[in-house]
Amino acid sequence: VGPGNILKVDSFLNHQMDVALFAAMGQEWARLFAGEKIDKILTIEASGIGVACVAAQQFEVPVVFAKKSRTKNIAGDVYRVEVPSFTHGTVNDVILKAGERLLLIDDFLANGAALEGLIRLARQAGALVVGAGIAVEKAFQPGGDRIRAMGVRVESLARIGSMSPGRIEFC
């Protein structure tokens, strides 16, 4: 746990990725969401992409990632929603072109802004959010409760009840 209550996972989850761990996570989400029809996995760039891609192998579906900025190679109708970033302290425009039954996959759930933005984005596109698979949920922050109150099923593989420098307590 670093300054600003930032959980350091860069050695296995986002900067350096433990692909064997990702595969196990994908298998667990496949077990948890077995029986659900899923057309695509949706995540947000950038840290969620790796785990979403490996999870998508289990579901045998493609991954769509919501971009944080418009690029010149995205044409046609897109859906846009503003999403504040907890880590970066900025507000990003997120762009997506989609419209099916979606499973949201992300690395973290803290305040829930990114996930809520993806849900709003999916609803704008006329898509159905089947659920959300989260690698690490900071259960002591309001995001999980907010997303569940929206009627979205959230399956977090690790739930942290509290943390401080040098100490992490799991739920």
* Cα dist from 46 to 50, 68, 148, 163, 171, whole Å: 8, 9, 24, 24, 27
Per-residue pLDDT, averaged over 126-137, amounts to 94
pLDDT, tens digit (0-9, with 9 covering 90-100), for 19-36: 899 899 999 999 999 999
Of 74, 121, 76, nearest in space to 99 by CA: 121
Tell me the one-letter amino acid at 17: M
The letter for the amino acid at 38 is I
The more confident residue out of 150 and 11 is 150
Q: How far apart are CA 45 and CA 157, in angstroms?
A: 20
Quick one: pLDDT band at residue 92, thresholds 50, 70, 90?
very low
Question: Residue 140 in contact with residue 132, Cβ under 8 Å?
Answer: no
pTM for this entry = 0.80
